[in-house]
Structure 1
Amino acid sequence: MTQAYLSASQMRGGYGKADILNDCTITVERGQIAVIVGPNGAGKSTAMKAVFGMLNLREGAVLLDGEDITRLSPQERVRKGMGFVPQTHNIFPSMTVEENLEMGAFIRDDDYRETIAQVYELFPAVADKRRQNAGELSGGQRQQVAVGRALMTRPSLLMLDEPTAGVSPIVMDELFDRIIEIARTGISILMVEQNARQALEIADIGYVLVQGTNRYTDTGKALMADPDVRRTFLGG
């Protein structure tokens, strides 16, 4: 059996002495879209932070492409190929769109202009506002800038914490379409999402967390069809 590209297994940890995660396991294959859903307080964002090294684990391990990165800092994990887009405070509002993207290339010493061009191609609405301060953009456009900045590091795993929070249904659909495009380039996606039904529709694999542990794990399609999941987590 081959090792998944991301394997975060049997994670236990939390804040202070309280454990939020209890034997939580998340795996993502190359080019796969993995979605973490569940009720409020289920530990979804905590699981994401644990994968990114923002939370010290008491038990469990995080492997990326077979390498144990459990003890690495978030900065070191970025250099290993992780990109992380937090739910809030994910742009520099007083800097232009282009300056935000350039900040995403801080770990690179090569010519990153081709990557900027690829980001603009992916997000044409952002390209039109490249000279505008990012703080002046709409919520959906700011999210696009935040995702674009993470893509500037050329990640092999892109992690998104509630990427559609506070945006309109039309913008949400557009963001999900772009996420599918990103995955098609071979980048693995790990996403925490409150809009569970819409997220599972695009998910190759879904994780339903309850109280920091895996309640259901299956393909997005299978979870959407599961009557227990539908009734309990998807509103019927």
Structure 2
Amino acid sequence: MSFLIGDGMTGGYGSADILHDCTIAVEKGEIAVIVGPNGAGKSTAMKAVFGMLPLRLGHVRLEGEDITALTPQARVAKGMAFVPQTQNVFTSLTVQENLEMGAYLRRDDIRGTMEQVFDLFPILGEKRRQPAGELSGGQRQQVAVGRALMTQPSVLMLDEPTAGVSPIVMDELFDRIIEVARTGIAILMVEQNARQALNIADRGYVLVQGENRYTDTGEALLANPDVRRSFLGG
């Protein structure tokens, strides 16, 4: 039994199914990456796991508990955190206020967690009193991830965390994601930069038209000639 699994997920928007018997799973301390061509259903699979998309068939389980019927808000209370690709910071609030917003469900002292976020992303500590809207794209992504970490999640879900950032910033973000996974948090992410993402992935899922086409370790998928030719540019 996987720590988090979306098992046999079938569903979509209205009467049109986008996912077809799709299964995605991740363990504690593991990085699982979903890759595939545009329109493959990658972000839809993430939304289904987080409860933003109703399933017609299939189940989502967290630590063996069936959470298929739970709202996204209820899943956050269960330990899941989701960072969307866009509009993922409060631009008029400062960096510190954004992080405080991430801890809205908590009733304990959040200062220790905030310092952990600043240790992970030192630039945020330097800019803690600056409005998030004034930050670079990469720094905003750090704020979004940091705010999610303020919930002290057991699962961190990232939808295209490196979208629109430079290669150097992408490498830095991936390094920080590895650090987060090493603390025991399960990380599930969708990523367009497939080769780089699979390079840090413990397991990878290649989706095509809402179905699992390949499932293996990141290393094995990178070495698979069919995957390399069809999805990684040779």
TM category, shorter: over 0.9
Runs of 4+ in 1 over 4 A off after TM superposition: none
Cα deviation code 1:169-226 (max 9, x no counterpart): 0000000000000000000000000000000000000000000000000000000000
Aligned equivalents of 2:13, 2:6: Cα separation in 1: 18
Shift of 1:147: 0.1
**2:45 counterpart of 1:47:** yes
Shift of 1:161: 0.1
Name the SS for the 1:160 alignment partner.
strand
Name the SS for the 2:105 alignment partner.
coil
Aligned equivalents of 2:17, 2:36: Cα separation in 1: 17
Match of 1:209 in 2: 207
Match of 1:64 in 2: 62
Aligned equivalents of 2:202, 2:125: Cα separation in 1: 30
Aligned equivalents of 1:178, 1:31: Cα separation in 2: 13
Cα deviation code 1:141-178 (max 9, x no counterpart): 00000000000000000000000000000000000000
**2:107 counterpart of 1:96:** no
Name the SS for the 2:165 alignment partner.
coil
Shift of 1:126: 1.2
Aligned equivalents of 1:63, 1:146: Cα separation in 2: 25
Match of 1:79 in 2: 77
Aligned equivalents of 1:140, 1:106: Cα separation in 2: 24
Unmatched 5+ residue regions in structure 1?
none
Normalised TM-score (structure 1): 0.99
Aligned equivalents of 2:123, 2:95: Cα separation in 1: 11
Match of 1:124 in 2: 122
Match of 1:135 in 2: 133
Shift of 1:7: 1.3
Aligned equivalents of 1:204, 1:58: Cα separation in 2: 29
Aligned equivalents of 2:29, 2:79: Cα separation in 1: 13
Match of 1:145 in 2: 143
Match of 2:220 in 1: 222
Cα deviation code 1:99-145 (max 9, x no counterpart): 00000000000000000000000000111100000000000000000
Superposed, which structure 2 residues align to 1:186-197 within 5 Å?
A: 186-197=184-195
Aligned residues, how many? 234
Aligned equivalents of 1:95, 1:81: Cα separation in 2: 25
**Paired-residue identity, %:** 77
**2:35 counterpart of 1:37:** yes
Superposed, which structure 2 residues align to 1:100-119 within 5 Å?
A: 100-119=98-117
Match of 1:233 in 2: 231
RMSD: 0.3
Aligned equivalents of 1:135, 1:50: Cα separation in 2: 29
Name the SS for the 2:6 alignment partner.
strand
- The AA in structure 2 aligned to 1:140 is G
